[in-house]
Amino acid sequence: MSTNRETAIQVASVLSQALPYIQRFAGKTIVIKYGGNAMENEELKNSFARDIVLMKSVGINPIVVHGGGPQIGELLSKLNIESHFVNGMRVTDSATMDVVEMVLGGLVNKEIVALINRNGGKAIGLTGKDANLIRATQLKVDVSSPEMQKSEIIDIGHVGEVSEVNQDVINMLTHSDVIPVIAPIGVGEDGRSYNINADLVAGKVAEELNAEKLMLLTNISGLQDKEGNVMTGLTTEQVDELIADGTIYGGMLPKIGCALSAVNNGVTSAHIIDGRVAHATLLEIFTDEGVGTLITNN
């Protein structure tokens, strides 16, 4: 009996701590990029779905943008379609693009929608092609190496960047108590499909909607200093300094670029959070400690 009472008191304490955050963020939009380990572990998948449903239940408008790189690679391998990468981006010819659309727009998207709905939400799956949600242009990659006297522009196929987001479509859904789940596939003026990095799509959606938060789930605990300590409460100027001195480098740079762009273009804060932690999104939004790195313009 004592243990049950202690547990009940602990739950009450957590709810009490969450109250000011619930009041502060009610009616606000939060864009969450979902991927990495959180997408491949059954327990984490279910905790993520419950987090999204709880957010919607307390008056927050969550919008999910998901990736699916490992799932794409797995199906390409089964179909004996070889994968090539340039600067970390998958070269996407027509055959590869067909697989990308099947995996992102079909398999992965519908699994996330089903998980959210099973946990009491009302989710609907979209790609950027639905109602011209995400307009895209082809991305050309500038490649250089010590052996090359000048850089070379490489065409990597159906890989795109966001040129426009149709916010009316998203607003229509969120105002109808629906949770949008967006696959990062854009459409060009000529009707061609484009595979777009999910971080970029999440960032542009957050900017277009003037979201309260952009949350990028990762496979690390957050931005770390050179001693391995997680840094948080960073301004954009501090992040620029960390890039300049080499603390932030390599594969983290594109993700940080999305976060910086977001907070410089109307998003109140960006968060790099540890998707390996159960209920990571709730911990970051509703607790004092959080589970990642917070970046703001203030």
Query: Any binding-site annotation on 195?
Result: yes
Q: List CB contacts of 130: < 8 A, sequence separation 6 or more.
A: 169
Retrieve residue 105's tokens.
């727009």
Environment class of 20 (CB within 10 Å of its CB; exposed 0-12, middle 13-18, buried 19+)? exposed
Give the C-alpha separation, 258 to 235, whole Å. Answer: 14
C-alpha–C-alpha distance, residues 264 and 268, integer Å: 9
11 vs 74: CA distance, rounded Å = 41
Region of 39 (left: φ > 0; alpha: ψ -120 to 50; beta: rest) is alpha
69 is in an annotated binding site: yes
224 φ, ψ to 5°?
A: -120, 145
Residue 245, class by beta-carbon neighbours within 10 Å (0-12 exposed, 13-18 middle, 19+ buried)? exposed
Give the angle 80-113-275 at the CA atoms, nearest 5°: 80
Q: Show binding-site residues.
A: 68-69, 90, 195
Residue stretches of the annotated binding site for substrate: 68-69, 90, 195
